[in-house]
Amino acid sequence: MSTRTDAPTRREQILKEAARLFAERGFHGVGVDEIGAAVGISGPGLYRHFPGKDAMLAELLVGISGQLLTGAKQRLKEADGVAPGVVLDSLIEGHIDFALDDRPLITLHDRELDRLRDSDRKLVRQLQRQYVELWVGIVREVYPDLGEPAARSAVHSVFGLLNSTPHLGRAGSLPGRGATAELLHRMARGALAAAGA
């Protein structure tokens, strides 16, 4: 499992705060001085850790896409031979965990992609595409009547459903993390079941 207990490095602090600020006010809406202030240093001090503001966004987005993909691949590998429906449940669970634990990153994920340099954007798009195709494969195993274009549309729509977590009461008005996760899971399965008919 290797859950980290060490103190976060300065670089990680910066990335975390930058993600939060970018998600709140948009990439262009946040100045480097604000990011610096959020970690207790001021403005240009950030350039000791990153070559520029763009690089922070790039590292965040590549990191998100890579994490989602490798997590899914891991779950795929661990569940070898089990029923495809169970594998699908595992994928859904992984995505929900991510959406609930890293809301700012989920927000950035589909909001600021176009602010990247061409090469970075291509990389992120490629990782995203792999992730989608992995889902499409499993979904079509569970619902063989679903054509490939329809399955892809359905998967994107389920992502929309699962990524709605930032809109669910910023305050603690929602009925606890576990119940929310379970509700989202049921809805995702219900949506996919309805798609495959």
Partner DNA sequence: CAGGGAGGTTAGCGGTCGTTAACCTGATGG
Partner DNA sequence: CCATCAGGTTAACGACCGCTAACCTCCCTG
Q: Which is nearer to DNA, 10 or 152 (CB)?
A: 10
| Spatial CA neighbour of 107 closest among 160, 174, 163 | 163
52 binds DNA (CB under 7 A): yes
One-letter amino acid identity for 170?
R
119 binds DNA (CB under 7 A): no
135 binds a copy of itself (CB under 8 A): no
Q: Which of residues 148-177 bind a copy of itself (CB under 8 A)?
A: 149-150, 152-154, 156-164, 167-169, 173-175
10 binds DNA (CB under 7 A): yes
Distance CA 35, CA 49 (A): 12
Kindly tell me the burial class for residue 192, based on how many C-beta atoms sit within 10 Å of its own C-beta (0-12, 13-18, 19 or more).
buried
Pick the binder of a copy of itself from 26, 66, 71, 137 (CB under 8 A).
26
Question: At closest approach, how far in Å is the CB of 151 from DNA?
Answer: 40
Q: Which is nearer to a copy of itself, 117 or 186 (CB)?
A: 186
Token pair for 43:
């403005």
Distance CA 107, CA 27 (A): 12
* Cβ proximity of 134 and 74 under 8 Å: no
One-letter amino acid identity for 24?
E
Q: Which is nearer to a copy of itself, 72 or 108 (CB)?
A: 108
Pick the binder of DNA from 15, 19, 21, 30 (CB under 7 A).
30
122 binds a copy of itself (CB under 8 A): no
Residue partners of 82: CB distance under 8 A and separation at least 6: none
Helix, coil or strand: residue 164? coil
193 binds a copy of itself (CB under 8 A): yes
Pick the binder of DNA from 44, 160, 166, 175 (CB under 7 A).
44
Q: Which is nearer to a copy of itself, 86 or 193 (CB)?
A: 193
Within 3-117, residue ranges assigned H as helices are 10-25, 32-38, 53-78, 84-101, 103-109
One-letter amino acid identity for 53?
K
Binding site for a copy of itself (CB under 8 A): 24-29, 110-112, 114-115, 147, 149-150, 152-154, 156-164, 167-169, 173-175, 179-180, 183-184, 186-195, 197
